[in-house]
Amino acid sequence: MGMSKTQIDELIRVSADHDCNEANGVCVKLVAIADLPTRAGDFQVVAFHSPSDRKEHAALVHGDVSGRERVPVRLHSECLTGDVFGSLRCDCREQLELSLNEISRMESGIILYLRQEGRGIGFVNKIRAYQLQEEGLDTIQANEALGFRADERDYAVAAHMLYSLDVRSILLMSNNPTKIADLRLHGVKVEGRIPLVIPPNPYNRRYLETKRLKAGHLLESSATIEVPEQMDSAHAASTDASASK
């Protein structure tokens, strides 16, 4: 069962009354929540508006997450080429689909869909980076050649979205330890990590290897990270999260 109408009304009311005069300038408003049946299972879709970056972000929520601890959460940055067009140059669509399928089998969980195309450089620059990669640069070198950092994303908005949903602590579904550090910097209590390892294909093998070697991504199924609770699979996390309630 998802969040009740009473819970939804309260979350929207609290968000509407929330003062966005925050030190880091980040502001997110929870605007609306509706049921969203998907091929993976039943979710509730949450619409957020961020006046600070003038973007609209989304959350897919399965089960009742309000006031809960150890909620499995996937932070998924928008990828038009992968999520929509099925590009094989990255593993974005596979990670999104795996997250949806895994969370739908859990008691509860969240996917935050963040409008940070191309690791934060936007769609046009992402395609420009693709051109440079076809000339021999790797994904990080291409970003840097365009004048960007290897990763321009920031997770302050994601932290605020979790705050707006009244999530107390999370198990992060990610291979990227930088996300854990960034979320903690913004006050999110991350209690564990759930790996999302996707087998490479001939088109994204170099991309994934670059992320492993240069960005520190943990792409082996046995990967561990120094967090209070390390989860080796989504199903183990679900069991543990249920037991803690």
The catalytic residues are 151, 153
Q: Which two tokens stand for residue 228?
A: 């209070």
* Strand, helix or coil for residue 32: strand
Q: Is 194 exposed, middle or buried (CB count within 10 Å of its CB: 0-12, 13-18, 19+)?
A: buried
Answer whether 102's CB lies under 8 Å from 76's CB: no
**CA nearest neighbour of 179 among 143, 141, 215:** 215
Asked if 110 and 103 touch (Cβ cutoff 8 Å), the reply is: yes
Strands 55-62 and 109-114: antiparallel
